[in-house]
């Protein structure tokens, strides 16, 4: 649709950026924090561990001051479960509560709305030992953690996100370092979708509890949504795209919003004897969630073609790689899209298409909780970081958000990844996303000083003009 006149971003649009606890905080075993699965995993060769990260635990004041300087309206960060409850269940760590109180208060001091992710890839290691999400009790563990957060922070936090990228936990758990399969398991697919089911129930219950305990707050899911294109206009490629859209995207949002399993995914799981078991009360619990909005991460679209099921397909490399499922779909390299230095396709127009599709399916306001470009940034001798490629990437994506708003989609905010440089899920420190450069290398911690990148000044102007001026 060509628009003659673009609609402006809403006056209360939440401009900000995102991070996650295990990737940014460091201090991973300090002040009573228990280890999470991220602290005990084997990190990919050549990449840093998660001991220090960007050291935000000790530098949150400086980081939040810089965010305030950029004019942030919101800061999306996550709360580390094992910093709050070191063993995952049981005793609460007062130092953990104190830390997040400080972060929240520091944000509010500058008028920055905290947007809190409750769970971002960091299951307490103690709970991993008890079977992680495979254990039915995980629903109660999570609900208890949610309650502790609502009790301690609910007087000030108005926006909550449940589980970051539950779809990626399910689809590419090993890449992120989160998949735990119990010994003796004979049907891995069933086990994974049982874990997924527990997360879905836990999420729905946490949303319902939020509404009960904090009537003024808003809560939503935060999956990674990438619209899937068919590789051609062949009818079978279109069916393949529908299959992958269901498995990758709609399963999670159909559940969060309507509390029902996507029928295509259910039929596929049936084929593999992998449908999850429902415990008593799950059906009602799933329908009781009712998110107030949808948070979603977008990096690029996916493309796939028909698969006739005759051969084994390669598995996904990471979050943004369309994998294959025999007889369902096969990943296809889209020849129309450029890629980042790390091989992820770049598709701003697909961002608009993704937003349009989500809005037509769910009719809920949406906030972008991640979007961004990972690159090898360089600090110059005079303390500058010239990142025109990031400015270009973000500009093109923000333009598409405005087009989607003009299309009639309700958008609440935009939080690119990431506020500050941090450790990537599996590609270390060298894959940088931040507006704020952190002076450290993969293994050499250097000064950990902060520097404003060129994109910092650019984003500051974007926010100051409420998205009207996107020029350099
Ligand atoms: C998302 C995760 C983030 C983040 C981002 C960039 O999938 O929610 O935690 O890391 O992707 O990915 P990567 O670090 O792999 O480049």
- Say which residue the tokens 């961002």 belong to: 351
3-state helix, strand, coil in the chain (%, to 5): 40, 15, 45
For 294-323, b/e burial (b = at least 16 CB within 10 A) is: bbbbbbbbbbbbbbeeeeebeebebbbbbb
* Confidence bin at 146 (pLDDT 50/70/90): very high
User: How many helical (H) and strand (E) elements, i.e. helices and strands, does the chain have?
Assistant: 16, 13
SS3 letters for 383-394? CCECCHHHHHHH
In a domain, 3, yes or no: no
| pTM beyond 0.75, yes or no | yes
Greater model confidence, 121 or 320:
121
How many independent structural domains does the chain possess?
A: 1
* Confidence bin at 316 (pLDDT 50/70/90): low
In a domain, 48, yes or no: yes
Distance 464 CA to ligand 1 centre (A): 27
In a domain, 1, yes or no: no
Mean pLDDT (the chain, rounded): 97
- Per DSSP (E only), the strands in 209-334 are 218-222, 228-230, 294-297, 302-305, 330-331
Q: Which of 130, 141, 250, 252 is nearest to 206 (CA)?
A: 141
Q: Kindly give the number of the ligand 1 atom that is closest to the alpha carbon of 423.
A: 14
Residue nearest to atom 15 of ligand 1 (CA): 425
* Confidence bin at 179 (pLDDT 50/70/90): confident
What distance in Å separates the CA atoms of residue 427 and residue 259, rounded to the nearest whole number? Answer: 35
- The count of residues in the chain is 472
Q: Is 234 helix (H, G, I), strand (E, B) or coil?
A: coil
In a domain, 469, yes or no: no
* Confidence bin at 158 (pLDDT 50/70/90): very high
In a domain, 4, yes or no: no
- The dihedral built from the CA positions of residue 222, 15, 73 and 95, taken in this order, carries a sign that is positive
Q: Which of 241, 431, 218, 439 is nearest to 340 (CA)?
A: 431
Q: Which of 48, 56, 51, 50 is nearest to 19 (CA)?
A: 56
In a domain, 195, yes or no: yes
Phi (first) and psi of residue 85, to 5 degrees: -130, 90
Res. 315: pLDDT tops 80: no
High-pLDDT (> 90) share of the chain, % = 94
Q: Residue 319: which CATH number?
A: 3.20.20.80
Phi (first) and psi of residue 468, to 5 degrees: -80, -35
* Confidence bin at 385 (pLDDT 50/70/90): very high
Q: Which of 10, 418, 369, 300 is nearest to 161 (CA)?
A: 369
Range of the domain at 139: 14-464
In a domain, 263, yes or no: yes
- Say which residue the tokens 């078991």 belong to: 277
Alpha carbon 382 to its chain centroid, in Å, reads: 34
Virtual CA dihedral for 143, 149, 155, 160, nearest 10 degrees?
-70
42 is catalytic: no
* Residue-wise pLDDT tens digits, 60-91: 999 999 999 999 999 999 999 999 999 999 99
Mean pLDDT over residues 402-422, rounded?
A: 98
Spell out which residues line ligand 1, taking CB within 6 angstroms: 20, 23, 164-165, 168, 224, 297, 318-319, 370, 374, 417, 424-427, 431
Residue nearest to atom 3 of ligand 1 (CA): 425
In a domain, 375, yes or no: yes
Cβ within 8 Å of residue 299, ≥6 positions away: 224, 226, 319, 320, 344, 370, 371, 372
Q: Is 152 helix (H, G, I), strand (E, B) or coil?
A: helix
Query: How crowded is residue 40: how many other Cβ atoms within 10 Å of its Cβ?
Result: 12
Cβ within 8 Å of residue 69, ≥6 positions away: 460
Catalytic residue among 106, 370, 381, 442: 370
């Amino acid at each position: 649709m060509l628009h003659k006149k673009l609609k402006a971003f809403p006056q209360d649009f939440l401009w900000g950026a995102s991070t996650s606890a295990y990737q940014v905080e460091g201090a991973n075993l300090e002040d009573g924090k228990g280890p999470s699965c991220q602290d005990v995993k084997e990190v990919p060769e050549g990449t840093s561990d998660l001991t220090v990260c960007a050291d935000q635990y000790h530098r949150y004041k400086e980081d939040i001051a810089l965010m305030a300087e950029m004019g942030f309206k919101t800061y999306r960060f996550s709360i580390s479960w094992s910093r709050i409850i070191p063993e995952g269940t049981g005793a609460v760590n007062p130092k953990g509560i104190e830390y997040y109180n400080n972060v929240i208060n520091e944000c509010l001091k500058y008028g920055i709305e905290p947007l809190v992710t409750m769970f971002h890839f960091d299951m307490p290691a103690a709970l991993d030992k008890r079977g992680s999400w495979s254990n039915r009790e995980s629903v109660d563990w999570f609900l208890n953690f949610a309650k502790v957060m609502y009790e301690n922070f609910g007087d000030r936090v108005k926006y909550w996100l449940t589980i970051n990228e539950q779809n990626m936990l399910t689809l590419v758990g090993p890449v992120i370092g989160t998949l735990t399969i119990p010994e003796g398991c004979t049907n891995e697919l069933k086990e994974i979708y049982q874990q997924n089911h527990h997360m879905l129930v836990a999420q729905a219950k946490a949303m319902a509890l939020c509404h009960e305990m904090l009537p003024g707050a808003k809560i939503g899911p935060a999956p990674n949504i990438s619209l899937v294109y068919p590789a051609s206009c062949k009818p079978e490629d279109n069916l393949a795209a529908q299959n992958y859209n269901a498995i990758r995207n709609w399963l999670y949002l159909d559940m969060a919003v309507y509390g029902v399993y996507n029928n295509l995914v259910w039929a596929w799981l049936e084929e593999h004897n992998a449908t999850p078991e429902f415990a008593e009360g799950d059906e009602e619990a799933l329908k009781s969630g009712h998110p107030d909005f949808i948070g979603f991460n977008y990096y690029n679209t996916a493309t796939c073609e028909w698969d006739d099921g005759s051969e084994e397909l390669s598995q996904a490399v990471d979050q943004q790689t369309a994998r294959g499922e025999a007889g369902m779909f096969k990943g296809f390299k889209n020849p129309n899209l450029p890629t980042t230095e790390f091989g992820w396709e770049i598709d701003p127009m697909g961002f608009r298409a993704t937003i349009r599709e989500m809005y037509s399916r769910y009719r809920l306001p949406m906030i972008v909780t991640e979007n961004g470009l990972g690159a090898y940034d360089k600090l110059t001798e005079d303390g500058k970081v010239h990142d025109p490629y990031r400015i270009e990437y973000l500009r093109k994506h923000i333009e598409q958000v405005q087009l989607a708003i003009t299309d009639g989609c309700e958008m609440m905010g935009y939080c690119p990844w990431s506020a500050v440089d941090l450790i990537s899920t599996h590609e270390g420190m060298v894959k940088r996303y931040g507006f704020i450069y952190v002076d450290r290398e993969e293994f050499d911690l250097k000064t950990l000083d902060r520097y404003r990148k060129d994109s910092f000044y650019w984003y500051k102007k974007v926010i100051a003009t409420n998205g009207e001026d996107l020029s350099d």
